[in-house]
Structure 1
Amino acid sequence: MVSFDHREPGTDPAAWVRSTADLETDPTTLDGVTSVVVVAPHPDDETLGAGALLATAADAGLPAHVLLVTRGEGSHPDSPTTTPERLRAVRDDEFRTALRILHPAASATVLDVPDGGLREHPDVLRDALTAHLAATTGRVLVVAPWRGDGHRDHRIAGEVAEEVVARSDAAELLAYPIWAWHWDDPQDSAMPWDRARALPVSAAVLERKRSALAAYVSQTEPLSPAPGDEAIVDDRHAAHHLGPIEWSFAVDTSASRSRESFDAHYERKPEGWDFDGSWYERRKRAVTLAALPRERYRSALELGCATGVLTAALTERADAVLGTDISAAPLERARHRAPAARFVQAALPSEWPSGRWDLVVMSEVGYYLSPVDLDATIDAVLASLDDDGVLVACHWRHPDDEAVSSGDAVDARLAERWPRPALVRHVEPDFVLSVLPGPGVVSVAAVEGLTP
């Protein structure tokens, strides 16, 4: 996660104007769109990130709906003059005023997730967006935060939107930046400018966007002269959003991380990640192995085995082990590290290995799969897992710029798709681990004869 302080001056807006002046991009268009849905983690995100789009949709007679995730009560945590409860009411009123200015006919749903708490409540947004798309006909344009924006709520909102849109037949997704304008460097930008979309903003639309932002008095002006009451969106930051172009990024929700991307990673870092030296990696591996409900397995499959560090440990617990990876380079190291195992280069889910397994391990690989490919991989595991077998899935919970989704999203989808409850679900700030059983799995105590 990017660390930034909104009170710092941040990147000069003029620097972004210069860096994007000659950028060749596709336009943002509403051609063929029948409705617009904007995901706003906080009141004012809809205006800053998609205000011109909402106004343009209104002028085109297109319906729009805003999913407001939180009421933004955490915007001034150090204020000596107000409370989160008071800010909830103020920002709710400001939101409704701003939305009327941008799109008088737009509807809105307030999800009431605690400000800063979307990571703990992603299902609230997931369910609401899924239900809205299911009830909407025609081609829907969903607009949500760019998940690399640097704010945790923005990241989770972007990830959830990608996941839901990927499972919709009639929706497409654009991602808007908010805080990236503040912390990013135009000379070495983290934003995906190769996927940029530009919406020209007319003078009339810009004036409506400016008026809508001005409705957020609690954010654009200090609450008081006291420290802790500073404006969140001061004039310098507002300038990023009040120009002649409203920027967003197209999101391809159908593609898993490519083989070429992994090949390039291993060319830079032949060991991939610090599997041997990192205490985090060693501890996570120990937790994974400790979670296995049986002492010994007949046939184990490890998906995304990388350089074979975990694979080598699995050979001590299984009679036969097969490791797969999308890239050839790490498999050469894996063969030396785990000579008792077999290895096959394979992309998931299209190159699924033949065989039956009573142990399948998916460690740090699920979030590199598109939602469609993740579902197909889950189906393949279920089809090839013996009745007394288990799937062990362990995933990093922090941002990964190369990931398609997140560890939490993968774990949630596994729980949703798996036909039986998890035997083990271990959650800590860094990773989540679930052990999902086949129909013939019984408890360790039952196997040992310790229960009646």
Structure 2
Amino acid sequence: MVSFDHRQPGTDPAAWSAFLASVPAGPVNVAAYASVVVVAPHPDDETLGAGGLIATAADAGVPVHVVLVSLGEGSHPDSPTTTAAELADTRASEFRAALGTLHPSVTSEFLGVPDVGLREQPDTLRDALVARLDAAPARTLLVAPWRGDGHRDHRVAGEVAEAVVHERDDVDLLSYPIWAWHWDDPTASAAPWGDARALALSAAVLDRKRRALAAYRSQVEPLSPAPGDEAIVDERHAEHHLTPTEWSFGMARSRSRESFDAHYERKPEGWDFDGSWYERRKRAVTLAALPRERYRSALEIGCATGVLTAALTDRADDVLGTDIAAAPLERARARAPRARFLQAALPDEWPAGTWDLVVMSEVGYYLSPADLDRTIDLVLDSLADDGVLVACHWRHPDDEAVSSGDVVDERLRARWPRPALVRHVEDDFVLTVMPGADVRSVARDEGLVR
């Protein structure tokens, strides 16, 4: 989680303006949707991040519904003049006034989650979104905070929205930043600008967004001159959001089964696993990184034509190889007759079992951020305490990839509860071995050190 202090000046809005001028962004066509649903973890998030979109969609006759998660009663925890309960009442009134300013047709609901409490009850938001989307006309645009925004409620809201959209073909997702404008650095941004979307706001819409934000007096003005009552969204913060363009990020989806089927139709062997010295050397490095000589049960995620799978059968009593495409599995079964194989789109079709070795080679960057996180969580849930995950990924650009080897490696290490046992980085690939709770070094296992 990003650490930042909203009381600090933060990134200069002018620095973002210069950066954004160079960002190629896709358009946002709200008229293409039958309805819009906006998730606001706190009152004012919907206006700051998507006020222009809300107004533009409502002007076009598209029904807009805002799901308000909490009342943001914790915005001034050190206030000497205003209690949390008073803030909740105030911010609820401000929320209604702001939505009415954006457009009188906008509807809303309040979920009653405590401020900074969404992590403890994500299903409250998930259930509300599923119910709303089930009742919505076909083709809905779901708008939610960017999961990397740096605030815990924003992260959880973004993750829940991504998970819900992943299960539906009739819903698209846009993610809006709020605090990233404050803490992020445009010269080395952490945001997914390759998926940027830009909505141009008319002068009238921008004026309504400005007036809607002004309705949040408890946030844009000090509650009093006393310390602890400072404005949360001061003029410098607001400047990030009151521009003629509203920025968001589209949702990256995992590479499809159809694209892999097409790849194997063109190249039945997939990649040159046998002939390429790069592939043979990388395979040798991967096998050498395994901390144990022998394993009970191994799972290979994305086994392709089974070249690495065959090598794993020499190191494990039972090996299961999975792949999203059917064609390579025919070759894999012939190449590795001692292994079992399963066609499965992971993480949705996760195989049952407990593994003391999981191998994820050259597949993580084909997964969306949400699917990668779910895959890591499923590995953790099914890995024996004495087991390891071995992840190896190409570090150069791949036009078919959703992310990159470095992104996968960073996310894996950030999400794993223990430090890496092995981490090998070179220009072409990064290989990481992540241990279970009871894994020790090879020397300690052999009694060479105590």
Show the counterpart of 2:165.
165
Quick check: 1:335–1:341 contact (8 Å CA) kept in 2?
no
TM-score (norm 1): 0.66
Matched, 1:148 2:148: yes
Show the counterpart of 1:374.
347
Give the Cα separation in 1 of the matches to 2:67 and 2:288: 39
Give the Cα separation in 2 of the matches to 1:22 and 1:135: 40
Show the counterpart of 1:44.
44
**CA apart distance, 1:30:** 1.5
Show the counterpart of 1:222.
222
Show the counterpart of 1:441.
none
Q: Deviations over 1:255-279 (max 9, x none)?
A: 48x99xxxxxxx9xx99xxxxxxxx
Quick check: 2:42–2:70 contact (8 Å CA) kept in 1?
yes
Taking a change above 3 Å as real, the CA distance of residues 430 and 404 of structure 1, as seen in their structure-2 partners, is closer
Letter in 2 for 1:232: I
Letter in 1 for 2:201: V
Map of 1:12-411 to 2, 5 A cutoff? 12-255=12-255, 307-309=289-291, 312=292, 315=295, 318=296, 321-326=297-302, 339-340=315-316, 347=323, 373-375=346-348, 377-378=349-350, 381-382=351-352, 403-405=369-371
Give the Cα separation in 1 of the matches to 2:369 and 2:143: 20
Taking a change above 3 Å as real, the CA distance of residues 254 and 323 of structure 1, as seen in their structure-2 partners, is closer
Quick check: 2:347–2:374 contact (8 Å CA) kept in 1?
no
Give the Cα separation in 2 of the matches to 1:408 and 1:223: 42
Taking a change above 3 Å as real, the CA distance of residues 392 and 137 of structure 1, as seen in their structure-2 partners, is farther
Runs of 4+ in 1 over 3 A off after TM superposition: 253-256, 304-309, 325-328, 338-354, 389-394, 400-403, 405-412, 429-432
Give the Cα separation in 2 of the matches to 1:391 and 1:10: 46
Quick check: 1:145–1:158 contact (8 Å CA) kept in 2?
yes
Q: Deviations over 1:323-366 (max 9, x none)?
A: 414489xx98x979x94567687546877888xxxxx9xxxxxx
Gaps of 5+ in 2: 261-277, 334-339, 359-364, 382-413, 418-450
Letter in 1 for 2:298: L
Q: Deviations over 1:375-430 (max 9, x none)?
A: 2x23xx25xxxxxx668999xxxxx9984258689879x99xxxxxxxxxxxxx98
Give the Cα separation in 2 of the matches to 1:248 and 1:402: 17
RMSD: 4.1
**CA apart distance, 1:7:** 0.2
Q: Deviations over 1:22-54 (max 9, x none)?
A: 332221111321111001111000000000000
Q: Deviations over 1:70-102 (max 9, x none)?
A: 110111111111111111111111101101111
Q: Secondary structure at the match of 1:191?
A: coil
Quick check: 1:198–1:247 contact (8 Å CA) kept in 2?
yes
Give the Cα separation in 1 of the matches to 2:105 and 2:357: 45
Taking a change above 3 Å as real, the CA distance of residues 239 and 64 of structure 1, as seen in their structure-2 partners, is same
**CA apart distance, 1:253:** 3.7
Letter in 2 for 1:151: H
Q: Secondary structure at the match of 1:143?
A: strand
Show the counterpart of 2:5.
5
Give the Cα separation in 2 of the matches to 1:163 and 1:324: 24
Q: Secondary structure at the match of 1:240?
A: helix
Letter in 1 for 2:138: G
Give the Cα separation in 2 of the matches to 1:391 and 1:339: 13
Quick check: 1:160–1:409 contact (8 Å CA) kept in 2?
no
Show the counterpart of 1:436.
none
**CA apart distance, 1:176:** 0.5
Quick check: 2:298–2:356 contact (8 Å CA) kept in 1?
no
Q: Deviations over 1:269-305 (max 9, x none)?
A: x99xxxxxxxxxxxxxxxxxxxxxxxxxxxxxxxx99
**CA apart distance, 1:107:** 1.0
Give the Cα separation in 2 of the matches to 1:306 and 1:114: 50
Letter in 1 for 2:5: D
Q: Deviations over 1:224-252 (max 9, x none)?
A: 11111111100000000000100011113
Gaps of 5+ in 1: 260-266, 272-303, 355-359, 361-368, 383-388, 395-399, 416-428, 433-452
Quick check: 1:162–1:253 contact (8 Å CA) kept in 2?
no
Paired residues, number: 342
Q: Secondary structure at the match of 1:324?
A: strand
Give the Cα separation in 1 of the matches to 2:189 and 2:53: 24
Give the Cα separation in 2 of the matches to 1:8 and 1:327: 49
Give the Cα separation in 2 of the matches to 1:125 and 1:391: 33
Give the Cα separation in 1 of the matches to 2:317 and 2:355: 19
